[in-house]
């Protein structure tokens, strides 16, 4: 399952993703300001990171919107935006 996460819904999203062995989390918009403590692949949209001028934690990989689209086409999505 792919989880698209923005800051306002992050707590619910992270609790849900933590119980999913196939989870991939993508931080978007203000979600890139977060430092999720998850044991799942976690990504942040590069454009959103650049706009907000933040440094990502080492466990969060920067990806493009094109990659997000690819993920959306490959996996079922839960939207926490």
Indicate the domain borders of the chain. 2-80
pLDDT in tens, 1-54: 999 999 999 999 999 999 899 999 999 999 999 999 999 999 999 999 999 999
C-alpha to C-alpha distance for 61 and 1, rounded to whole angstroms: 17
According to the model, what pLDDT value does residue 47 have?
97
pLDDT of residue 29: 97
pLDDT band at 79 (very low <50, low <70, confident <90, very high): very high
pLDDT for position 80: 96
Topology, domain 2-80? Hypothetical Protein Ychn; Chain: A, (3.40.1260)
Residue 66 token pair: 């094109």
Over residues 54-59, mean pLDDT: 94
Strand order in the sheet with 24-27: 60-63, 42-45, 24-27, 2-5, 77-80
In this predicted model, which residue has the larger pLDDT, 81 or 45? Answer: 45
Residue 1, pLDDT score: 96
């Amino acid at each position: 399952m792919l989880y698209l996460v923005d800051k306002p819904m992050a707590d619910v999203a992270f609790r849900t993703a933590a119980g999913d062995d196939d989870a991939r989390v993508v931080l978007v918009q203000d979600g890139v300001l977060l430092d999720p403590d998850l044991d799942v692949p976690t990504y942040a949209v590069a454009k959103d990171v650049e706009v907000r001028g933040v440094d990502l934690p080492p466990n969060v990989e920067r990806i493009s919107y094109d990659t997000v689209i690819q993920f959306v086409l490959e996996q079922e999505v839960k939207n926490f935006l």
